[in-house]
């Protein structure tokens, strides 16, 4: 008995040793590129950056966290980011789903539409921003040419700038959402739709009672990913509005960036980065807890 117990323990030790050995390389990479920077960033937030270069950083502990996280600029930036997410995610998913449903029909030449609908996936944020920046340009753009030339220009209008950037973002991510939704639709067996047709369900009823529940895992995934993307938005803000007008498009990522690069305040930027990470994490966890209850994972 004792012998076998020893043998078993030895085997277990050997197996766990092997497991750690195999995990080692990726653990090392994670440690160097993720864990260490993350912890040192958190630590950096304890130091106040001096107003003039050359002076030493001053340790202030958690007080900098408190100061930054209660500032009106930060709270405004959080509000802007949340608004941005609410503007982009539901609309993007609704449009992507709508296009996917249209493209799911067995019609002649539908492949051309599928290609067009998914094409923005090959467009970078920078390209999309330049395209729309040009279209909105008050001097050479398409809108003024069409006779639509609001003053101030859309991207300079505090009421419209965020909405405009959000719409551009929806357009730019539409390709990806469309592909996600289309593949989700394709995964639903045709026979279920056929059974529902024979069972007397009209098109809308089939969509609500069969398609939507079976697509819910895909939609759920798109909401979570879309939410994370929205909280990390940077490129289109930088290229189109630089956070303005009046900080109306100053989303968190852009705020981190300007704090670091314009203010050269790395202590404050570190605090903001930690805040951005925490908000994204909490939001994702909440989404998972709340939405997953409504998701049907079909087997």
Burial class (CB in 10 A: 0-12, 13-18, 19+), 11: exposed
Q: How far apart are CA 281 and CA 285, in angstroms?
A: 6
Residue 215 C-beta: closest distance to other proteins, Å: 10
For residue 258, give the 3-state DSSP assignment.
helix
* Nearest residue (CB) to other proteins, 193 versus 248: 193
* Nearest residue (CB) to other proteins, 5 versus 108: 108
The site for other proteins (CB under 8 A) is made up of: 189, 191-192, 194-202, 205, 209-210, 213-214, 296, 298-299
* Nearest residue (CB) to other proteins, 3 versus 297: 297
Can you name the residues that pair with 47 across neighbouring β-strands?
59
Residue 108 C-beta: closest distance to other proteins, Å: 12
What are 299's two structure tokens? 């087997």
Burial class (CB in 10 A: 0-12, 13-18, 19+), 94: middle
Residue 51 C-beta: closest distance to other proteins, Å: 60
Beta-carbon-side half-sphere exposure of residue 141 (alpha carbons within 13 Å): 19
* Nearest residue (CB) to other proteins, 105 versus 191: 191
Q: How far apart are CA 117 and CA 111, in angstroms?
A: 10
Residue 296 C-beta: closest distance to other proteins, Å: 4
* Nearest residue (CB) to other proteins, 19 versus 212: 212
Residue 182 C-beta: closest distance to other proteins, Å: 20
């Amino acid at each position: 008995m004792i012998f076998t117990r020893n043998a078993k323990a030895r085997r277990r030790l050997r197996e766990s040793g092997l497991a750690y050995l195999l995990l080692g390389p990726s653990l090392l990479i994670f440690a160097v590129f993720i864990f260490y920077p993350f912890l040192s960033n958190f630590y950096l937030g304890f130091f106040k950056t001096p107003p003039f270069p050359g002076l030493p950083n001053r340790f202030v502990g958690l007080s900098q966290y408190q100061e930054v996280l209660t500032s009106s600029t930060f709270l405004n930036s959080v509000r802007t980011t949340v608004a941005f997410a609410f503007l982009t995610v539901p609309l993007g998913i609704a449009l992507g789903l709508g296009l996917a449903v249209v493209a799911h029909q067995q019609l002649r030449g539908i492949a051309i539409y599928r290609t067009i609908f998914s094409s923005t996936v090959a467009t970078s944020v920078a390209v999309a921003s330049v395209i729309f920046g040009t279209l909105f340009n008050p001097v050479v753009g398409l809108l003024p040419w069409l006779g639509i030339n609001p003053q101030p220009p859309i991207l300079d209008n505090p009421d419209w700038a965020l909405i405009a950037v959000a719409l551009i973002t929806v357009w730019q991510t539409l390709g990806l959402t469309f592909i996600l939704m289309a593949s989700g639709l394709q995964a639903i067996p045709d026979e279920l739709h056929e059974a529902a047709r024979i069972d007397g369900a009209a098109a809308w009823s089939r969509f609500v009672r069969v398609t939507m529940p079976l697509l819910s895992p895909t939609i759920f995934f798109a909401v979570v990913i879309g939410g994370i993307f929205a909280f990390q938005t940077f490129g289109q803000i930088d290229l189109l509005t630089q956070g303005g007008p009046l900080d109306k498009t100053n989303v968190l990522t852009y705020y981190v960036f300007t704090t670091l690069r314009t203010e050269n305040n790395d202590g404050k930027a570190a605090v903001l980065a930690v805040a951005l990470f925490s908000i994204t994490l909490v939001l994702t966890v909440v989404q998972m807890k709340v939405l997953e209850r409504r998701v049907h994972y079909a087997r």
